[in-house]
Amino acid sequence: MNQSTLHITNRDLTTDYLKSKGILGDYITWREMLCEGKTLSEVGSENFWKIRFDFLKKTYKVTKKTFIDFTLKEYRVLCQKKQQEEIVLWFDNDLHSQINMLALLSWLKNNRNGLNIYLIDSRDLVGKKINSLPKKDILKLLENKILLSVDDIEYADYIWQLYCSDSPLRLETVYKFNPMSPFYHLSSALETHLKRFPSLGNGLNEVENTILETANSNQLKSKHQLIDMLLNKQKTYGYNDFQYLSKLDEFKKLFTTFSPVKLSKKGKQVLEHKLNFYREIRNDDMYLGGAKKYSFLYVENTRKLLQITS
């Protein structure tokens, strides 16, 4: 690997780790979390970034300066990187990484047509992060990297378009029927995505129910102990601690205290499916991709979504 290679990673930790292992080339870190909040299919457009900033500001109190310095400046550097002969994508297997990968491939399709684009083959990295591997395994990943075909990139772009549409229903079937795809973890990531819509049973999604289950079945002394346990338990999402902090703030009425962690009576009723919390938490400004989160219900026994028409 030399300076004719552009490495694009999903996390600063991965970028720093690859550099520390002597992997040569230029680097870009794709600093976004497109698995949360509203998205538009036109990645990199002015409206795309406006919608993303509005979401991050409202949900996580991200300032305009932070958004520009952390995300937009890195994106602008990517726009300027036109001289490399090949691009290597380093993305983990979780939902966070896979959705970011789809968006990036959509952008590359429209802006770097004709370049050799490679994907690190992470099929054997279930439960592992790239930035946890020894150098010999990193070199093996590079040696076995997969050259994406035009059809592969078109497929990724197509799934991205579906993710950004106002209905997730077509994702239920489309993502399962491409057995020759090099995107080995995309199927499970999208299944995980669909489980983030509120359940028919109690109005909470899989993430939210796991929060209540973890809090109720463990003797935890603090909110941070709860978050640490959730980070270890829900690795398929690729969430960070601040995402769980935001979620706990949203559901604080289901807890009597966070020091120690104890569910309220209402929290236990919701957990036991004796009370449906949907009406209390419905927010028509909350999106997952292009779809309104509370316009669909996930039915656990069929693993299908129902659209709410009223």
Report pLDDT digits (tens) over 96-149. 999 999 999 999 999 998 899 999 987 777 667 898 899 999 999 999 999 999
Domain encompassing residue 263: 206-307
Q: Using 50, 70 and 90 to split pLDDT, how confident is the model at 181?
A: confident
Same domain? 25 vs 166: yes
Q: Is residue 192 part of a domain?
A: no
Assign residue 91 the CATH number of its domain: 3.40.1360.10
Residue 178 has pLDDT above 80, yes or no: no
Same domain? 65 vs 213: no
pLDDT average, residue stretch 18-32: 95
Q: Is residue 38 part of a domain?
A: yes
Cα–chain center distance at 60? 16
Same domain? 116 vs 237: no
Count of structural domains within the chain: 2
Q: Is residue 195 part of a domain?
A: no
Same domain? 56 vs 163: yes
Give the residue from 184, 214, 245 where a domain finishes. 184
Same domain? 246 vs 290: yes
What is the pTM assigned to this prediction?
0.95
pLDDT at 309: 82
Q: Is residue 150 part of a domain?
A: yes
Q: Is residue 272 part of a domain?
A: yes
Same domain? 179 vs 223: no
What is the C-alpha to C-alpha distance for residues 39 and 240, in angstroms, rounded to an integer? 19
Same domain? 65 vs 211: no
Same domain? 163 vs 272: no
Same domain? 156 vs 262: no
Residue 2 has pLDDT above 70, yes or no: no
Same domain? 258 vs 180: no
Give the residue from 184, 218, 240 where a domain finishes. 184
What is the C-alpha to C-alpha distance for residues 209 and 215, in angstroms, rounded to an integer? 10
Report pLDDT digits (tens) over 29-61. 999 999 999 999 999 999 999 999 999 999 999
Residue 248 has pLDDT above 50, yes or no: yes
Q: Is residue 59 part of a domain?
A: yes
Q: Is residue 212 part of a domain?
A: yes
Q: Is residue 247 part of a domain?
A: yes
Give the residue from 134, 152, 184 where a domain finishes. 184
Report pLDDT digits (tens) over 250-278. 999 999 999 999 999 999 999 999 999 99
Same domain? 158 vs 58: yes
Same domain? 139 vs 28: yes
